[in-house]
A = this chain, B = another copy of it.
Amino acid sequence: MARLVMKFGGTSVANVERIRNVARHVKREIEAGHQVAVVVSAMSGKTNELVAWCRETAVLHDAREYDAIVASGEQVTSGLLAIALQEMGIPARSWQGWQLPISTDDAHGSARILDVNGEEIVRRFENGNEVAVIAGFQGINLPSGRITTLGRGGSDTSAVAVAAGIKADRCDIYTDVDGVYTTDPRIVPKARRLDKVAFEEMLEMASLGAKVLQVRSVELAMVHKVRTFVRSSFTDPDAPELRVNGDPPGTLICDEEEIVESEVVTGIAFARDEAQVSIRHVPDKPGIAAGVFVPLAEANINVDMIVQNISAEGFTDITFTVPTADFERAKAALADAQDSIGFKTIEGATDVVKISIIGIGMRSHAGVAAKAFKALSERGINIRAISTSEIKISVLIDAAYTELAVRTLHSVYGLDA
């Protein structure tokens, strides 16, 4: 007997027929003797419809009202799934965020979960094994008593938080892919599904554009050590391979201690939506980095890679990346501060891609970066900037070389199937 959280996204609950299919997935786990809490999103398209009504009513609208409106989508699917389960003879009830409660801060529209009270859910597990069907994406801010939402993709975060709140053995994220791959299979047909990924690795992959899971859900899973399992919702719920003991097909995101043999490199991720900004000939004196990045922070622009070389003759160059959507605003914010920073020119490019090599194993292996630089160089790919962390090497290159670079690195690190 295990305690599970099962999370289903919008396409999995898009209509009553699919909701019934979700109920069959739940039934399989109940029949295997497990305790189950389900977290659901709104029917696909519903949240967009509700958001559009808010915008039509007022372009700038009260985020508290927005939250009350959009949270209604999950209210509907949680109720319908509870009915579908009951129809199959499985005791079940729906829970809205305010009913448990799932308490959050007051950052309406992108609230953070502070606590999930799972007491009543657990009591009902012990007392008749009632399935808890929880509306994802939403919570309540106490003491204002108003409905909050977690922002797009927030149902993943709800699921992990519920798993932590009820001390679940595993959090199963059912999605439209069957796991986490070594890289995007659309670019590298030889990409392999990973059986296990460490939290830290997944965090890098999620934040680097592998859109399987919301970043915050991975952070939360790491903090609370919630074993999170990414699997497909489109397989037949009654398929024999889903009835095996142990872990069914998919990718388990877990503590690195659970991964017996770490690969040096686990995956190759890439992000196309970053732009490069370089400011040239900056006087190299204390406080100059602050002089550059405070104006960007005040303009609410996220800066990612930052590269600063040692100076030559008292001047240096600083290169960094920003989301492509913020490129023009970033240049404008810097131009406004040109006098105080004292740089000579701003250069930039939007036709760039950031490619990252990720692997917990590289902490204990030398020469990982050198191997990448050599391989790219042999293919004539110029590296614009480099930044590294303990478990990641990122290079910024021309976007035209994206596929070639990803395939080359995938092969060089022995990831091809």
Say yes or no: A62-B76 contact (C-beta < 8 A), given A16-B53, A68-B96, A145-B99. Answer: no
Q: A53-B16, A99-B145 are in contact. Are A86 and B72 (CB under 8 A)?
A: no
Is A25 an interface position by the 8 A CB rule? no
A58 B78 Cβ-Cβ under 8 A: no
Find chain B residues with CB under 8 A from A93 CB.
Answer: 62, 64-65
CB of A65 within 8 A of CB of B53, answer: no
Copies in the complex: 2
Which residues on the B side are within 8 Å of A251 (C-beta)? Answer: none
A75 CB contacts on chain B under 8 angstroms: 68-69, 71-72, 75
A181 to chain B, nearest CB (A): 35
Q: How large is the interface on A (under 10, 10 to 19, 20 to 34, 35 or more residues)?
A: 35 or more
Q: Is A19 an interface residue (CB 8 A)?
A: yes
Binding site secondary structure of chain A? helix
Residues of B within 8 A of A50 (CB): 76
Q: Are B76's CB and A69's CB within 8 A?
A: yes
Tell me the nearest residue of chain B to A43, going by C-beta.
B53
Residues of B within 8 A of A71 (CB): 75
With A75-B68, A76-B72 known to touch, is A83 a contact of B61 (CB < 8 Å)? yes
Choose from B53, B87, B98 the contact partner of A98 (Cβ within 8 Å). B98
A378 contacts across to B, CB distance below 8 A: none
A126 within 8 A of B: no
The answer to whether B94 touches A57, judged by C-beta atoms less than 8 angstroms apart, is no
**A66 CB within 8 Å of chain B:** yes
Q: A65-B93, A68-B94, A72-B72 are in contact. Are A58 and B79 (CB under 8 A)?
A: no
CA distance A65 to B68 in the complex (A): 19
Of residues 69 through 106 on chain A, the ones whose CB sits less than 8 Å from some CB of chain B are 69, 71-73, 75-76, 78-80, 82-84, 86-87, 93-94, 96, 98-99
Determine whether A298 belongs to the interface, using a CB cutoff of 8 Å to chain B.
Answer: no
Interface string of A9-43 (1 = CB under 8 A from B): 00000001001100000000000000000000000
The answer, yes or no, to whether A313 is at the interface (CB within 8 Å) is: no
Max chain B Cβ within 10 angstroms of own Cβ: one of A20, A73, A79: A79
Assembly CA distance A76 to B66 (angstroms): 9
Q: Quick check: B16 and A56 within 8 Å, CB to CB? A: yes
CB distance from A67 to the nearest CB of B (A): 8
Residues of B within 8 Å of A16, CB to CB, are 53, 56-57
Q: Of B58, B69, B82, B99, which contacts A65 at CB under 8 A?
A: B82
Among B20, B58, B94, contact of A83 (Cβ-Cβ < 8 Å): B58
Asked whether any CB of chain B lies closer than 8 Å to the CB of A54, the reply is yes
| Complex-state Cα separation, A71 to B98, whole angstroms | 15
Across the interface, do B68 and A19 meet the contact criterion of CB distance under 8 Å?
A: no
A83 to chain B: which residues have CB within 8 Å? Answer: 54, 57-58, 61-62, 65-66
Once bound together, how far apart are the Cα atoms of A66 and B79, in whole Å?
A: 7
Interchain CB contact under 8 A, B68 and A53: no
Decide: A57 and B84 in contact? CB cutoff 8 A: yes
Q: Nearest chain B CB to A78's CB is how many angstroms away?
A: 7
**B57 and A19 within 8 A (CB):** yes
Q: List chain B residues, Cβ under 8 A from A146.
A: 99
Q: How far is the CA of A45 from the CA of B163 in the complex (A)?
A: 37
Q: Indicate the member of A50, A68, A96 with the most B CB atoms within 10 Å.
A: A68
Q: A16-B57, A65-B93, A66-B83 are in contact. List 16 more A-B contacts (CB 8 A).
A: A16-B53, A57-B87, A58-B84, A62-B82, A62-B93, A65-B79, A65-B80, A65-B83, A65-B86, A65-B94, A68-B75, A68-B94, A69-B75, A69-B80, A72-B72, A75-B75
